[in-house]
Amino acid sequence: MGKNKLKKFAEMERLDCVFQYPKSALEAAGGCPLRGLWAKDVFANSNPIVLELGCGKGEYAVGMGKADPASNFIGIDIKGARMWSGARTVADEGIANVRFLRTSIHLLPEFFAPGEVSSIWITFPDPQMKKVNKRLTGTHFVDIYRRVCPPGALINLKTDSPFLYAYTLAMARHNGLEVVAATPDLYASEWADRVPRITTYYEAQWLGRGIPSKYIAFRLPAPDVVLTEPQVDIEPDSYRSFGRGNLESLGLRT
């Protein structure tokens, strides 16, 4: 591991805006002491809690926090070295309504009580074209989201991937979920002014290469609704068939 990563990890341990609970630490602590108490004990208010999943550098969580002071935002990722950038911004600028949680998305119910999370943002995740159970908009994860959000909570996806966009729309329709918004070209649609205009590093790369951002928002169903996977054939993303070397030559590191 490089010295720069080690330095970032050490600094993350000292930042008050960062909470780090890998599975081993969670088990050692006997569970997360903040479960059900994030608004009261972390943010000291009763405002809605919004999650950004797979937050990477935390640009979206930070941007939403600045744009909406009446809500609390928590960026979640398993990779601390990426999260350091957003956490450093929050600490330096004293942004009171943004925090970061380092853990696996699979463990969300360990950290948040039923109904504690008001909505979720998923921004430019890996589409996981070969592994449906790893797709953050797949039924496996939607079931997890239902355990921390109330029925009707909004799940927002921004993606460059035509595959993930088509899959998510098919999944929602197949299961009878309410689709609030769906556009294959966000910034050329009526939703352009309704969705926070926060351009992350990776979104800028895709837009710069003529790949439009897609947006879909759907509502979570009641807990007793059984979700199943749609049986559809979706064309894979051609540009994601490149090897790592090809992507790096385009300035798109995987």
The residues assigned a catalytic role are 126
CA distances to 60, 161, 225 from 200, rounded to whole Å, are 7, 15, 34
The CA distance from 253 to 63, in Å, is 23
Q: Which two tokens stand for residue 48?
A: 């809605």
The CA distance from 26 to 36, in Å, is 15
Q: Read off φ and ψ for residue 56, nearest 5 degrees.
A: 60, -120
Q: Does the CA dihedral 214-219-220-226 come out positive or negative?
A: negative
Other Cβ atoms less than 10 A from the Cβ of 183: the count is 19
Other Cβ atoms less than 10 A from the Cβ of 248: the count is 12
Q: Which amino acid is at 227?
A: L
